[in-house]
Structure 1
Amino acid sequence: MSSNDFADTRKTATTPVVPRRALRDGVYDAILEKLLDGSTPPGSSLGIDPLARELGVSPTPVREALVQLEHTGLVSRVALKGYRVAQPLSPRQMAELIDTRSILEVAAAERAAVHAVDLVPELRAAHAQHVLSAHRVRKLRGEGGHPTGFADLREYFAADWEFHLTIIRAADNRFLLQLAESLGAHVHRLRQTVDHGTMDVDQAVEEHAEILAAFESGDPRRPVEAMRRHLSALAGRATAESSESP
């Protein structure tokens, strides 16, 4: 066998790696959306074979995706029974999650303030997208719609979280960013737990505007204070909605 033949053989052998990874990621995203859109309520079972048939794939990428999702807390594995959708966050878990976000995001705001000149244009764009998506949610409500499903709210939630990630990226610390990204699924789980019927669209937009203004001010203390106020207010709203839920 020539060296060229060996190279061709080696290339052929390694080619499936990327498609398989893409397939696994696609299955992960598909199951994640099922978990977040309310079609699989807490406690419902997640069979590997039924999911594979529904998604038109083999059981292997489904199994791999469920293992990944178990690490997020969105699903749990029960001995001899397979996987189930996790129960909603308890009040204590919600408090711990928001406390973790506060520790991380206040620290990120402090570090990002040093790079405010470069950050502000990106943060304005992220805020504008958040405002636009909030307007669409309000419009659905005004037209008699009931945007409580994940499909209606997905764009709004993504814009909200992107505003926060923009600040965290500006902190220029890869480990802070990794920690924040690892919290993404838990943040979605928090949104599942609270009552979307009393969603805090207006408050969140107003508080994000205050954070943006704080970075625009050039005072490095103001972004830290604004972020701390925002997350404290978020904690209060989440606690109130959780206590009112049946």
Structure 2
Amino acid sequence: MSSRQITAGGTEPPSRSSSVVARRALRDGVYDAILEKLLDGSAPPGSSLGIDPLARELGVSPTPVREALVQLEHTGLVSRVALKGYRVAPPLSAEQLLELFDMRTILETAAVQRAAAHADELVPELRAAHARHVLAAHEVQKRRAPGERPADFTDLREYFAADWEFHLTIIRAAGNRFLAQAAESLSAHVHRLRQTVHHGTMDMDQAIEEHAAILAAFETGDPAAVQEAMRSHLSAVAQRVSADG
């Protein structure tokens, strides 16, 4: 009988391609779970990431854990030490922060210049992204009010995502897939800044104000004003992060 015979349940066994897809989905799920541990502080900088303990915790075999850690090593979020396995990378150094914001300035000012040509289509979407950012900030601030529990990473996750989505909305509007890919490659490092959020002051009010200035510049349709607003925002964020460090 053929190896592709019908099973007792009346369906064919999974094809090779479907098995590959399932394995990739499992690996991606494990990747996301470990990334969450890195960003929420449950796996702090310098801590060990054992493959077998993680596999037991996540209820999977060691293979997708190993594959996910290899992926994370490429982002710089974890490092592999000979004979010691994987460890969570330390927070970004002052030099790395400088380089990160230098790269963001190069990439994002180029993106806003190109996106400004499509301002009529972009502005409504950017207004919506800004509104989501404002709402997320409001939710965090409510939890930080007297009598409420302090905001933790779980509370801040939606705020951080809305902040970054504002930037991605502009970058995608530039209409250059390679700019978008470069931005996505930076996302892990941008989120890695969140590791220091409890060691400094939150800059929600400043970020909201600076994003509003960027939106207003797009509404004027002046590419030079848009570039200056984005450059000023990134410079201010870099200064705030450096001061917190």
**TM category, shorter:** over 0.9
The match for 1:206 is 209
| Residue number among 224, 227, 231 corresponding to 2:227 in the alignment | 224
Q: Distance in 1 between matches of 2:203 and 2:15?
A: 52
Report the alpha carbon displacement of residue 95 of structure 1 after superposing the two structures with TM: 1.0
- Partner letter of residue 186 of structure 2? L
- Partner letter of residue 167 of structure 2? H
The match for 1:64 is 67
| Residue number among 107, 115, 119 corresponding to 1:104 in the alignment | 107
TM-score by length of 1: 0.92
Q: Distance in 2 between matches of 1:189 and 1:141?
A: 23
Q: Distance in 2 between matches of 1:35 and 1:108?
A: 29
Is the contact between residue 214 and residue 229 of structure 2 (CA under 8 Å) also seen in structure 1? yes
| Alignment RMSD (CA, Å) | 1.9
The match for 2:93 is 90
- Partner letter of residue 172 of structure 2? R
Higher alpha-carbon deviation: 10-19 or 149-158:
10-19
Is the contact between residue 200 and residue 244 of structure 2 (CA under 8 Å) also seen in structure 1? no
Q: What's the CA shift string for 1:122-179, capped at 9, x where partnerless?
A: 10110000000000111111143211x3211100000000000000000000000000
Matched, 1:146 2:160: no
Q: Distance in 1 between matches of 2:94 and 2:16?
A: 50
Is the contact between residue 122 and residue 173 of structure 2 (CA under 8 Å) also seen in structure 1? yes
Q: Distance in 1 between matches of 2:231 and 2:24?
A: 39
| Residue number among 228, 241, 244 corresponding to 2:244 in the alignment | 241
Q: Number of aligned residue pairs: give it.
A: 239
- Percent identity reads 75
Report the alpha carbon displacement of residue 108 of structure 1 after superposing the two structures with TM: 0.4
Report the alpha carbon displacement of residue 197 of structure 1 after superposing the two structures with TM: 4.8
Report the alpha carbon displacement of residue 191 of structure 1 after superposing the two structures with TM: 2.1
Q: Distance in 2 between matches of 1:196 and 1:231?
A: 20
| Residue number among 117, 128, 139 corresponding to 2:120 in the alignment | 117
Report the alpha carbon displacement of residue 220 of structure 1 after superposing the two structures with TM: 1.8
The match for 2:183 is 180
TM-score by length of 2: 0.93
| Residue number among 81, 84, 90 corresponding to 1:81 in the alignment | 84
Report the alpha carbon displacement of residue 19 of structure 1 after superposing the two structures with TM: 1.2
Q: Distance in 2 between matches of 1:67 and 1:164?
A: 28
- Partner letter of residue 191 of structure 2? H
Structure 2: gaps (5+ residues): 6-10
Is the contact between residue 195 and residue 241 of structure 1 (CA under 8 Å) also seen in structure 2? no
Q: What's the CA shift string for 1:25-53, capped at 9, x where partnerless?
A: 00000000000111111111100000000
